Structure 1
Amino acid sequence: MSEPAKKTPGLGKGLGSGLSKGPSGLGKGLGALLSVVPREDGSAEVLRTIPIGSIKPNPRQPRRQFDENALVALAGSIGERGVLQPVLVRPIPGGGWELIAGERRWRAATAAGLTEIPAVIREDDDAVALEVALIENMAREDLNPVEEARACSALVDELGLTKEEVGRRVGRSRAAVSNLIRLLDLPDTALEMLEDGRLSEGHGRALLMVKRHDVRRDLAAEAYSRGWSVRTTEERARDTESTPAAPRQLHADHEVALTDVADSLTATFGDAVSVKAKGKGCRVRFEFASMAEAATFAAQFSSHRRAA
């Protein structure tokens, strides 16, 4: 059983008053996901005060880095005025609470010496808790490019969302989501530079124009040490690949388009299809374990053609 929580009569204009009351669930958007909602028995969720020590951090928190100076400033504000916006938690089997949203406030309140903190307690399942943790930070533009990339990747891999669905939730295009996730193909040293701000997201995309992993790593180090702009990094990446500037830019766009084509075909025909780049176009290949599987595919393909 989770430790009993104290009911908080009022907290001013915090999370509860700032968000609408309505049903929650996947695909409802950030406002609905963070709203104070009615329970099945008709009673409304209420704000409660719970012991800070009973809260465990969210293992799915996309943020890996917290600005220490900002935390110190927030801790000072909380020490003077208290926590004006509650955190969002869910019960842990066996006792205690798991933080869903509000880790900065929780950390700052702990640093300020508070022993209790106002919280909205929700019975979210793993999927909803994951979506809230990821989208809350992204919607508030509170993540660095690598954290955003990991968040988008988790929404795709763990929740099974398409890149288009992820884009709708975080206010980005499908191509932008694809570009973000591709950043995770960079070497660890380059990712660290994007995380701590030594290089920008634009630098990361420029590095992806280079095929070899070790060359990407060396180019990232040189871009930082020499203070290259994104444009200069792109030019050096093109020079490294020994291709003219215009074709390399077309190639970068081509890779995003190729990813979209592969995603669309896989969603329609499953794992039987593979797509690879070939010149300015692509090569689509189908493989089947048996003739029966091939016949099933042929019938499915014919039905798609008739529908088109």
Structure 2
Amino acid sequence: MELRQLYYFVKVAKKEHVTQAAEELHVAQSAVSRQIHQLEEELGAKLFLQKGRNLQLTPVGQLFMRRAEAILADLERAIMEVHEFLDPEKGEIRLGFPHSLGISLIPNVVSAFRKLHPNVKFRFKQGMYPSLIKDVMRGEVDLAFVSPFPEEHDHITGEKVLTEELFAILPPNHPLAGVDAIDLIQLKDETFVMFSPGYSLRPIVWDACLEAGFTPNIGFEGEETDTIRGLVAAGMGVSLLPEMALYATGPLQPVKVAVRSPRVMRTIGLIHRPNEKLPLVAKVFQKFLLEFFECSGKGNEGKLRGGG
């Protein structure tokens, strides 16, 4: 069995398509198909089933997938450790984060870190809350920012680094656009622009509306803060967003208004796998981040309970 076969197998399993996997691997489709066939012959088991135009893992394939990903992750960490041992200043940090943090927070902290460590590389992975948790557990990222901060979890550990207020965002011509602050109940008859199910900001906004005494009428859903902001600015409804998701330029922008009651907050944590030594360069970055938030006055310590 060759490592190349494992790489090809994992890529096909994730893409569920040989052609797409071959394109990402920059090899011929026939080469990928041949390696998968040889792997199945060596294992004596069928790893994929045809489902329409896509491929689907068999139960045996799903079992093998978990082991193959673990093997490749261990190999990648071993290679990184060797590179870091030779020169810790030339390592790579694998960082996960939700889209809303990619507008200002991630560029700011990475820029500040690279001023001190200019040769360190980053590999970023954006995702929703559940996928970021899984990425950390599977070892696909070293560190991840997640929101809300998981107070208890059996398989991850970390620190709460930030608590952030959410603001109401309104169309520029909205009757409440000129006020300093509102009570959320004042928006009970409005159409809401919400994040799609699975995004962590959706239940925060939903629960805040319920606490205010009404169920939000959802007219539109989106998957990125740019989409939510744009739809509100275009007069399609109202919403709530954290302040760091409101840093944008352009002629069409919503109006930000503080919410007096109830106060709507979200927590942000920095998580990693418990009982596992971080790569040296990731450990340096983790220390930098905790000091960054503490020194900026935004830190909000809260050691994660459960999982170490």
Q: Which has the larger radius of gyration?
A: 1
Q: Which has the higher contact order (CA 8 A, sep 6+)?
A: 2
* Greater share of helix: 1
TM-score (norm 1): 0.25
* Greater share of strand: 2
